Structure 1
């Protein structure tokens, strides 16, 4: 995780929470800021988790099954497979995905979540 990316996502999160506070609540009270920051933390955690799942290859088995099923049901692909069975298996290899922003988004979202939780408990 790059420190620069983390700082950038953290600052964007603070700016988003201030904009959300103004758009939703039209006032800058502590409760409004905490609520908006909590919403930003949830957004960050959802996006970061989705990127992490895709990056870790969680859905590779599902995509492999869909590719294999649809290629088996088309007639032209079935004839190609009969001629050269090894060529088909190479086309099913999963693609590698790497999202360097996944960890900074997860870390920023976690920090926002914990901070808003602590502030809400003291209110």
Structure 2
């Protein structure tokens, strides 16, 4: 990667992070009006919970991006293919299994912004409550 491409990717991540943070703060302000505690405590609680949601989404994208489910998908495709052809015939013909190949890994550009926004919101709400 060239230096210019890395800078463009960083600008893209910063832009996505700022959008996610803005949405998180806006949602926290709205949810704080409906809280049972004082406005500040309700705001911090909703900021923390939405931050946790962002961390879970980022973790799920990270796991999928790493290829954790590729083996399961590969096995299911081969199993369903064997089921259609007939299990008796397929057990004698292994050439079809070699042609299918292993699925490629997917790359998501929102993984880092979701992680960063979630961690930042959780830290701000934890520090704000103290």
TM value normalised by structure 1: 0.76
**What CA distance in whole angstroms lies between the structure 2 residues aligned with 1:84 and 1:40?**
49
Answering whether residue 116 of structure 2 is matched by residue 107 of structure 1, we say yes
Match of 1:70 in 2: 80
Q: CA deviation at 1:6?
A: 2.8
SS in 1 for 2:115: helix
> Offset of 1:32 from its aligned partner?
2.1
CA distance in 1, matches of 2:13, 2:105: 22
Q: What's the CA shift string for 1:19-40, capped at 9, x where partnerless?
A: 3432453489321221121122
Cα RMSD (Å): 2.8
Contact 2:29–2:43 (8 Å) recurs in 1: yes
Q: Provide structure 2 residue ranges, at least 5 long, that are not aligned to the other structure.
A: 1-8
CA distance in 2, matches of 1:74, 1:80: 10
Count of residue pairs the alignment pairs up: 120
Residue in structure 1 matching 2:14, options 6, 17, 20: 6
CA contact (8 A) 2:20 2:114 kept: no
User: Matched residues in 2 for 1:24 and 1:119: separation?
Assistant: 15
Structure 1, unmatched stretches of 5+, are none
Greater shift after overlay, 37-46 or 11-20? 11-20
Cα 1:12/1:83, change in 2 over 3 Å = closer
4+ residue stretches of structure 1 with deviation over 4 A?
76-84
